[in-house]
Amino acid sequence: MSQIKMPLPDSSILDRREYLTAGLTVAAGSGNVITDPIETIAYECDALVAYRCPPLAVVLPRSTEEIAAILKFCHLNNLPVVPRGAGTSLAGGALPTADSVVIGVSRLNNTLEIDLPNRFIRVQSGMTNLSVSGAVSSDNFFYAPDPSSQLACAIAGNIAMNSGGAHCLKYGVTTNNLMGVRMVTMKGDIVDIGGPHLDPAGYDLLGIICGSEGQFGIVTEATLRILGKPEGARPILMGFNSNEVAGACVADIIKAGLLPVALEFMDKPAVIACENFAKAGYPTDVEALLIVEVEGSESEIDDQLKKIKRIALHHNPQVLRESDSALQSDLIWKGRKAAFGAMGQIADYMCMDGTIPTSQLPNVLGQMQEMAKGYGLRVANVFHAGDGNLHPLILFDANKPGDQEKCENFGNDILKLCVEVGGCLTGEHGVGIEKRELMNIQFNDQDLEMQMRVKDVFDPKWLLNATKVFPIGSSSSRRNKNSQKAA
């Protein structure tokens, strides 16, 4: 059994099911609405698969205007809405409730404008992250944020969760690469914010919309910054005999003024699992492995790697292997990129996402292994070391009664530790339902009240994805104000 509780569905909505689905069909067009319970099952969860609930209906509109009409209807009828990109959220950001309508943007998947001289692309929000880079790749441009799910995840979801990726140490996350949006508010108003110019005219509304987890509106179009591709890139692999030493090496690289484009850290359990799975040639006798990648021309890369190797040698690496071919570079990355698949082969796992100050890396990794012993569970770590964004993968057995609860408790303890040492609950996955009840650890009541007041501006009735982000008890009075349901 899973532990995160969702509020009871509003019976006044369930009682009006037929009236409401008929109304949706009128507002959205019959070809765009799914109400058959067999078909809505496909939308019952996102990538946090332990939590499932089919919605009342699913709507897949074909235009901004259709979304405006649907939201107007939902607003009028106090019908909760759950926006959905590609459904790859690891935090339950797209989990429906039984009394909600899922509005998916998957049919909004066109490129609207490519402007190379002004370095932006304007797309519909259902486009996948990778296809945005794909649209400008032949012109030697790319879109920088690169979450691991980039093959599948939609720009709409990237904006909702302010997604990051392996290369954000240099290029920033979604919010640093988003220039404008077209968004439909819960009332059905269409609003344009930002654009191809570089800063806001008044308040930075774009900054607050990005990362608002689909609680302010449904983004249908996005203007994204694109960058000229670097001339080349090359990784180097470094193995050390302890997490502490690897952590110290990371600190020294950064202190030396080097800014690698990626700085990935794997602990021993992760190295072994990845090597067994991907046969990437990783040394399995090391305690910690670093993958450091730099960009530039051949000579620039040589120069940077020389500096990095000099630093690494101070830390007595057990392995120091610079890629000397495209094939070897691919192999070095192959293991890292296979991490999630490799873990999935061993056991069920939950992927956590806290961030810590990088100075706390050895301390937190050490404490995590101690906690793992206490819980009798295994944990592997694969993460972005340059920015302190951890991804502990906790292994458990979903078929073993009580194991998932144990795993969730362990995960919560890790996140509490992250906050304790000066970090945060989530670096790039978002709060969703997963970390909702932990928000009180990072924020006090006044902080949360201030955030909820911002939602009051965009969605006064609290209909949009309203059961996420805030502790369910903290948001209940606002959510229940406009419905007849019990708490």
Partner 1 sequence: MTEIIEPECEIELAEFVRGAVASKSKLRIVGGGSKQALGNSVTGKHVSTSKLHGIVLYEPASLTIVADAGTPLEELEDELSGNGQHLPFEPSDYRNLLGSSGEPTIGAVVACGISGPRRIQTGSCRDSLIGVRFINGDGDVIKSGGRVMKNVTGYDLVKLLAGSYGTLGIITQVSFKLLPAPEKTATVILYDMDDNQAVGAMSKALGSPFDLSGAAHMPKGKNQSMTLIRLEGFEKSVDYRAQKLAESLSHFGEVEIESDSEIAKKRWKQINNIEAFANRPGAVWRLSLKPGDSPGVINAISQSREIEVLYDWGGGLVWLLTPIIDNCGEKIIRNCVNQVGGHSTLIRAPKENFTGNAFHPQSDIVEKISTNLRLQFDPHSILNSGKMSAI
Cα–Cα distance measured from residue 380 to residue 342, given in angstroms and rounded to the nearest whole number: 11
Span from 58-66, 75-83, 281-289, 423-431 in contact with partner 1 (CB under 8 A): 423-431
Q: Which is nearer to partner 1, 57 or 469 (CB)?
A: 469
Q: Provide the CB-side half-sphere exposure for 129 (13 A, CA).
A: 24
> Is 300 near partner 1 (CB under 8 A)?
yes
> Is 428 near partner 1 (CB under 8 A)?
yes
Span from 30-38, 235-243, 402-410, 456-464 in contact with partner 1 (CB under 8 A): 456-464
Residue 359: CB minimum distance to partner 1, A: 5
> Is 458 near partner 1 (CB under 8 A)?
yes
Cα–Cα distance measured from residue 360 to residue 340, given in angstroms and rounded to the nearest whole number: 24
Q: Which residue has the tokens 């009541």?
A: 445
> Is 427 near partner 1 (CB under 8 A)?
yes
Q: Which is nearer to partner 1, 80 or 147 (CB)?
A: 147
Per-residue burial over 81-91, b = 16 or more CB atoms within 10 Å of its CB, e = otherwise: bbbbbbbbbbb
> Is 471 near partner 1 (CB under 8 A)?
no
Residue 35: CB minimum distance to partner 1, A: 32
Interface with partner 1 (CB under 8 A), residue from 1, 36, 138, 198: 198
> Is 135 near partner 1 (CB under 8 A)?
no
Backbone angles phi, psi at 109, to 5 degrees: -130, 40
Residue 366: CB minimum distance to partner 1, A: 18
Q: Which residue has the tokens 């046969």?
A: 279
Interface with partner 1 (CB under 8 A), residue from 244, 387, 397, 413: 387
Interface with partner 1 (CB under 8 A), residue from 16, 234, 384, 479: 384
Contact status, residue 72 vs residue 412, Cβ threshold 8 Å: no
> Is 239 near partner 1 (CB under 8 A)?
no
Cα–Cα distance measured from residue 411 to residue 372, given in angstroms and rounded to the nearest whole number: 10
Span from 5-13, 44-52, 173-181, 309-317 in contact with partner 1 (CB under 8 A): 173-181
Cα–Cα distance measured from residue 158 to residue 61, given in angstroms and rounded to the nearest whole number: 19
Cα–Cα distance measured from residue 37 to residue 203, given in angstroms and rounded to the nearest whole number: 43
Beta strands 141-142; 178-184: pairing state: unpaired
Residues 79-118 that bind partner 1 (CB under 8 A): 115-118
What 3-state class would DSSP assign to 204?
coil
Q: Which residue has the tokens 């720009």?
A: 155
Cα–Cα distance measured from residue 339 to residue 451, given in angstroms and rounded to the nearest whole number: 35
Interface with partner 1 (CB under 8 A), residue from 140, 316, 345, 477: 140
Per-residue burial over 294-320, b = 16 or more CB atoms within 10 Å of its CB, e = otherwise: bbbeeeebeebbeebeebbeebebeee
> Is 451 near partner 1 (CB under 8 A)?
yes
Could you tell me how many residues of this chain bind partner 1 (CB under 8 A)? 89
Residue 25: CB minimum distance to partner 1, A: 28
Q: For residue 45, give the nearest of 79, 2, 95 by alpha carbon.
A: 95
Residue 88: CB minimum distance to partner 1, A: 15
Cα–Cα distance measured from residue 422 to residue 6, given in angstroms and rounded to the nearest whole number: 30
Q: Which two tokens stand for residue 112?
A: 């609207």
Interface with partner 1 (CB under 8 A), residue from 135, 208, 346, 347: 208
Span from 19-27, 51-59, 264-272, 386-394 in contact with partner 1 (CB under 8 A): 386-394
Span from 7-15, 32-40, 157-165, 343-351 in contact with partner 1 (CB under 8 A): 157-165
Interface with partner 1 (CB under 8 A), residue from 196, 283, 362, 471: 196
